[in-house]
Amino acid sequence: MVILDPEARALFAAEITDSLQRTPRELPSKYFYDPLGTALFEAICQLPWYRITRSESALLARHGADILSPYRGSLDLAELGCGGGSKLVTLLEYGEATVSRVQLIDLSRAALDMARALVAPLASEVVTLAGSYEDGLLRVPSHRDGRPLVMLFLGSNIGNFDRESAHVLLRRIRETLVPGDALLLGADLTKPTRDLLLAYDDPLQVTAAFNRNILRRINDELGGTFDLDGFVHRACWNARERRIEMHLVSTRRQVARVAATDLEILLESGESIWTESSYKYEPDEILAAGAAAGFGRGEQWIDEAARFALTRFAV
Ligand code: AVI
């Protein structure tokens, strides 16, 4: 169980209460990542059917030197949503660059501690910023000393934003950077529906556990009464929006309460709570999204087999 500070707990309670009362009902996917959710996500990354993490790490290892080649002297790196820091370490190991300061941004303090320990031997200085992407973007400029900065936004985290919100976030990243900097963006690409469904509804049911864990978290932290056996995991491909949607579908007519906000909801049999969207991109669309957000030229490294792209945007 995580002990959230009172402000974070109040926000968690307010956001889930608001989203559970929408039509259709929703839960924000950012709340998947308590310690158990983070461990389940790490297990997902090991699944043979979920290729994003392995594909991205392989691209970083194979092309790291190329990716950082414009930065001959020393540079700084910052990673939004660094998690345990393993991808950053791959880039540091293969990047053939002198990295001075690394700024690590993540909601989870446990993840930041892990990332700091991994990155510290490979950089002169490590700064950790615990908070949302927006908190991190506000604080990054005050930790700069005039060296070029490459900002990393990896793991297809961009895919968990709808296309309009992704545009707003890319713009915010662009506003934080200055000429001579760059953004390295990792984004998952469209691929056969069968492969997508296996990635988000795996035969070992790890993704199902990851999805249902959000209800367990609400029960433990906010006094929820969700019956975990009363919901099944469903992943579907929304071809029009080009996104995988994850849902928790109620298997019967049932009432759930959340004590923290005195919420009571009645779920019909078959009614779903939409918990996550993972938008998939075409390579050209990523280049266009960068240009629309005000970035300069984009260069791409693509794993055609796994259908995953790394794109470096110049500022
Ligand atoms: C973190 N994020 C990019 C993952 C994704 O692929 O959307 C989260 C995830 N959801 C289910 N499996 C993995």
Alpha-carbon distance 280 to 258, whole Å?
33
**Contacts of residue 143, Cβ cutoff 8 Å, sequence gap at least 6:** 101, 103, 127
Furthest-apart CA atoms within the chain: distance in Å: 63
Closest CA to 9 of 223, 167, 206: 223
Per-residue pLDDT reduced to its tens digit, 270-301 = 999 999 999 999 999 999 999 999 999 999 99
Q: How confident is the model at residue 3 (pLDDT cuts 50, 70, 90)?
A: low
Residue 157: φ, ψ to 5°: -60, -25
To test the pocket of ligand 1, the residue of 32, 46, 160, 189 to mutate (highest count of ligand atoms within 8 Å of its CB) is 160
Flag whether pLDDT at 146 surpasses 60. yes
- Ligand 1, atom 10, lies closest to the CA of 200
Q: How confident is the model at residue 5 (pLDDT cuts 50, 70, 90)?
A: confident
Residue 144 CA to ligand 1 centre (angstroms): 31
Q: Evaluate if pTM is beyond 0.85.
A: yes
Question: What is the number of residues in the chain?
Answer: 315
| CA distances to 47, 103, 105, 246, 261 from 100, in Å | 34, 10, 17, 40, 46
Flag whether pLDDT at 2 surpasses 60. no
Specify whether the backbone of 231 is left (phi greater than 0), alpha (psi in -120 to 50) or beta: beta
> Bridge-partner residues for 248, per DSSP?
233, 273
Per-residue pLDDT reduced to its tens digit, 152-189 = 999 999 999 999 999 999 999 999 999 999 999 999 99
User: How many C-beta neighbours within 10 Å does residue 284 have?
Assistant: 10
Q: What is the pLDDT of residue 283?
A: 98
Flag whether pLDDT at 124 surpasses 80. yes
Q: What is the pLDDT of residue 32?
A: 94
Sign of the torsion angle spanned by Cα atoms 174, 90, 280, 23: negative
**Contacts of residue 280, Cβ cutoff 8 Å, sequence gap at least 6:** 159, 188, 189, 190, 191, 196, 242, 243, 244
| 103 close to 129: Cβ distance less than 8 angstroms | yes
Q: How confident is the model at residue 8 (pLDDT cuts 50, 70, 90)?
A: confident
Per-residue pLDDT reduced to its tens digit, 190-242 = 999 999 999 999 999 999 999 999 999 999 999 999 999 999 999 999 999 99
- Ligand 1, atom 11, lies closest to the CA of 200
Counting Cα atoms < 13 Å in the Cβ hemisphere of 12 gives 28
Nearest ligand 1 atom to the CA of 41 is 13
- Ligand 1, atom 6, lies closest to the CA of 278
Alpha-carbon distance 89 to 76, whole Å?
14
To test the pocket of ligand 1, the residue of 41, 56, 190, 210 to mutate (highest count of ligand atoms within 8 Å of its CB) is 41
Q: What is the pLDDT of residue 4?
A: 64
Q: What is the pLDDT of residue 141?
A: 95
Written as six digits, the tokens of 137 are 């973007």
As a whole-number percent, the residues of the chain with pLDDT over 70 amount to 99
Protein residues whose CB sits closer than 6 Å to any atom of ligand 1: 44, 52, 155-157, 159-160, 200, 207, 276, 278
Q: How confident is the model at residue 110 (pLDDT cuts 50, 70, 90)?
A: confident
Q: What is the pLDDT of residue 258?
A: 98
Q: What is the pLDDT of residue 73?
A: 81
**Contacts of residue 141, Cβ cutoff 8 Å, sequence gap at least 6:** 176
To test the pocket of ligand 1, the residue of 162, 185, 278 to mutate (highest count of ligand atoms within 8 Å of its CB) is 278
Q: In what order do the strands lie in the sheet with 149-153?
A: 125-130, 98-106, 74-80, 149-153, 182-188, 308-314, 298-303
- Ligand 1, atom 4, lies closest to the CA of 157
Nearest ligand 1 atom to the CA of 188 is 6
Alpha-carbon distance 22 to 25, whole Å?
5
Q: How confident is the model at residue 107 (pLDDT cuts 50, 70, 90)?
A: confident
Per-residue pLDDT reduced to its tens digit, 235-262 = 999 999 999 999 999 999 999 999 999 9
Q: What is the pLDDT of residue 160?
A: 97
User: How many C-beta neighbours within 10 Å does residue 168 have?
Assistant: 11
Flag whether pLDDT at 1 surpasses 80. no
Angle at 299 between CA 295 and CA 300, to 5 degrees: 125
- Compare 6 and 197 and report the one with higher pLDDT: 197
